[in-house]
Amino acid sequence: MLDWQPLFLTFKLAFITTILLLIISLPLAYWLAYTKSKAKPIIETLVSMPLVLPPTVLGFYLLLVFSPNSTLGGWLNEHLGVRMVFSFAGLIVGSMIYSLPFMVQPIQAGFAKLSPSLREAAYVLGKSKWTTFRKILLPNINPALLTGIVLAFAHTIGEFGVVLMIGGNIPGKTRVASIAIYDEVESMNYAAANQYSLILFAITFLILLSVYLLNGGYLKSSLLKNSKHD
């Protein structure tokens, strides 16, 4: 009988990661789209690093940073009672860092493509930056928002190296579907591996298909852009 827990954890992880990434990425993408700061290339490089770094490299350094023996990991454990290594919380942090460019880059491109006259007209009419952002800019980048959300969600579902390094393989806690597939293949239980794989394939196919039907051009351009970094 198929163990549904890894699938539940996978989609729980993808949902939480996507929501948190959206909250973080909106102001970050806005700043990257409009800033003239000399630090912009550095920030863009840091955001894009997960596209080119092997997942195990990122996972290894996250493991070091959040280890209870490290300064940050020890402080989190001692003062906040939060253990990041081999925990679901650690999976969320690792997934957010690994999927960050898939959320930020489409939204940044969406902001950058907007006509400057939109902001200028809003400011002339006395609108604040927050009102302009919320009521004028965001409604005009809906395709970019949808693309970022879908790419981040789908990318999180497919993670393996990062989640394995920082989360390990703890049933019911950090054993997501990609790790479960690997385990079943290692055990030569191809039937179970096939079941997990088919479920993930079907769900991600339906998600991408629905977005292509609604927003195909923008999603295709984002996928092609990200694929050039892989």
**Which residue type sits at 81?**
G
Q: Name the strand (E) or helix (H) holding 121.
A: helix 116-124
Q: DSSP assignment of 65-104, as one string? A: HHSTTSHHHHHIIIII----TTSHHHHHHHHHHHHHHHHH
**Which residue type sits at 80?**
L
pLDDT at 106: 93
pLDDT at 6: 95
* Tokens matching residue 183: 């385990």
- Mark the ranges of the chain whose per-residue pLDDT is less than 70: 216-230
pLDDT at 121: 86
CA distance 53 to 127: 42
Please report the domains of the chain, with CATH numbers, ordered by start residue.
5-33+40-227 (1.10.3720.10)
pLDDT at 230: 47
Closest CA to 12 of 99, 86, 84, 92: 92
116-156 pLDDT, tens digit each: 888 888 888 888 888 888 888 998 998 899 989 999 999 99
Q: Name the strand (E) or helix (H) holding 167.
A: helix 161-167
